[in-house]
Amino acid sequence: MSDTAKPLAGIKVIELGSLIAGPFATRILGEFGAEVIKVESPDGGDPLRKWRKLYEGTSLWWFVQARNKQSLTLNLKHPDGKRILRELLADADLLVENFRPGVLEKLGFGWDALHALNPKLVMLRMSGFGQTGPMKDQPGFGAVGESLGGLRYITGFDDRPPVRTGISIGDSIAALWGVCGALMALRHREVNAGVGQVVDVALYEAVFGMMESMVPEFDVFGFIRERTGNIMPGITPSSVHTSADGKHVQISANGDAIFQRFARAMGRDDLANDPSLADNAGRDARRAELYGLIDDWVARNSQADVLATLEAAEVPASAIYSIEDMIKDPQFLARNMFIDGQLPDGKSFKMPGIIPKLSATPGSSEHVGPALGADNQSILQKLGYSTEQIAQLKTDGAI
């Protein structure tokens, strides 16, 4: 597919980010056609290049997180490095950064300076606590955002300390909010004032924004949501159960009509016909009893039999998938949720597919994350630098 067929074709993005939140946001933009120039330090670049499982010295995560991006190395403490960044930003549409607040200002790239340089520029700023408030200068990774934003407090079982979700979900949620904000700001620039603005995303607020009815429940009733393991108090039945072969099944039979079908599928017409279980409030009042009955039924059957029975009864249920399960599942395959990439040595490998699915202008992965500084020559030549000047910049430590 040509870039012109993608919805963000013609949008130029400069990324001053590292690790997860900022780079995940620009990855999404790049998948849908934005030109993303990732600016990295010449001294090793983004630390994500060395995170988790490495292939010939480079993180497999990096190859996915930086796909479709160009890598330009700039020493932002060097005058020439700063000059090149200004030249890039002079006609850019979006700057994405996730430094601690104040760092860019010290380098001479605060909002006032950038807005004067390029009034149409949108600046997406992602940080632990936002650009204002008493905590703005504190460092804050996704784990801190998840903790302060309420997610960690309600995750896990009530007889144990809080637990993490298994991925850096706080960073990823912040990235999604960041993409939403950036696109809204670009749309505003297009149809209204014609000028850019700052999109300020705090990791803790990004998580907090997902906390459902927590605020009004506390404000009106003084209710504090606590850890409840796999069940959802007030929404019954919905939980995880273990089958006879030691596998796990998520069953979500909390709709009124669904519960009746579920009860009959278990051979319990008495439950299906019990008027006290006809609505969610009644079922929730008897949730300990119901979960015990469901546990017993699932424990007498294999996972496959449970899932087949519930599928026939049109009851929402699923196995708890590992990546090994996902990679061979017909639904994932039918939706093209695994796409092929090529490692630097030519080896093919699987990457996650593109989300969301656009019917007319779908996203794609054109290439995997580049080597550090792989695009220095081409980017600088477009800015008007000669081969000799580029070589001198490297000698001087600017790139």
CATH code (residue 283): 3.30.1540.10
Answer yes or no: do 118 and 250 share one domain.
Answer: no
Among the listed residues 48, 42, 44, 41, the one whose alpha carbon sits nearest the alpha carbon of residue 27: 48
Question: What CATH code is carried by the domain that includes residue 106?
Answer: 3.40.50.10540
Distance CA(321)–CA(326), nearest Å, equals 6
pLDDT of residue 5: 85
* One domain, residues 11 and 121: yes
Name the domain count of the chain.
2
Percent of the chain with pLDDT over 70: 99
What is the pLDDT averaged over residues 275-302? 97
Range of the domain at 37: 3-210+335-396
Query: Is residue 285 pLDDT above 70, yes or no?
Result: yes
Q: Which residue has the tokens 């059957």?
A: 301
Residues 267 and 380 in one domain: no
Residue 249 sits in the same domain as residue 206: no
- Report the SS3 class of residue 268: coil
Radius of gyration of the chain (CA): 25
- Residues 168-202 as b/e (b if ≥16 CB within 10 A, e otherwise) read bbbbbbbbbbbbebbbebbeebeeeeeebbbbbbb
326 belongs to a structural domain: no
- Of the candidates 319, 352, 373, which is a domain's last residue? 319
In this structure, the answer to whether residues 314 and 339 fall within a common structural domain is no
Phi and psi at residue 199, in whole multiples of 5°? Answer: -105, 115
Say which range, 41-50, 87-96, 138-147, 286-295, has the weakest mean pLDDT: 138-147
Mean local confidence (pLDDT), 305-309: 98
Round to whole Å and give the CA distance between 49 and 312. 47
Residues 6+ apart with CB under 8 A from 226: 153, 154, 158
pLDDT of res. 330 = 97
List, by residue number, the catalytic residues. Answer: 171
**Encoded amino acid at 242, one letter:** T
Q: Is residue 77 part of a domain?
A: yes
Residue 222 falls within a domain, yes or no?
Answer: no
Looking at residue 235, what DSSP letter applies? B
Query: What band does 3 get if pLDDT is binned at 50, 70 and 90?
Result: low
The per-residue pLDDT for range 313-368, each reduced to its tens digit, is 999 999 999 999 999 999 999 999 999 999 999 999 999 999 999 999 999 999 99
Q: Is the pLDDT of residue 49 over 80?
A: yes
Q: Please indicate, yes or no, whether residues 261 and 198 belong to a single structural domain of this protein.
A: no
Q: Domain check: are 60 and 196 in the same one?
A: yes
pLDDT of res. 4: 59
Task: Give the model's pLDDT for residue 17.
Answer: 86
pLDDT in tens, 246-255: 999 999 999 9
Residue 324 covered by a domain: no
What average pLDDT does this structure show over 266-280?
97
Same-domain check for residues 81 and 106: yes
For residue 224, being part of any structural domain is answered with no
Type of residue numbered 260: Q
Residues 6 or more apart in contact with residue 119 via CB below 8 angstroms: 194, 195, 196
CA-to-CA dists, residue 217 to 206, 212, 213, 232, 233, angstroms: 20, 10, 6, 15, 13
| 297-310 mean pLDDT | 98
Q: What is the mean pLDDT of residues 214-229?
A: 96
346 and 277 both lie in a single domain = no
Cβ pair 203, 144 in contact under 8 A: yes
Task: Give the pLDDT band (50/70/90) at residue 380.
Answer: very high
Strand order in the sheet with 94-97: 69-73, 35-40, 12-16, 94-97, 122-127, 198-202
Boundary residue ending a domain (260, 294, 319): 319
DSSP label of 185: H
Does 98 fall in a domain?
Answer: yes
Same domain, 92 and 170: yes
- What are residue 6's DSSP bridge partners? none
Same domain for 280 and 364: no
pLDDT tops 80 at residue 190: yes
Residues 69 and 139 placed together within one structural domain of the fold: yes
Average pLDDT, the chain: 96
Q: Looking at the domain assignment, is residue 71 inside a domain?
A: yes
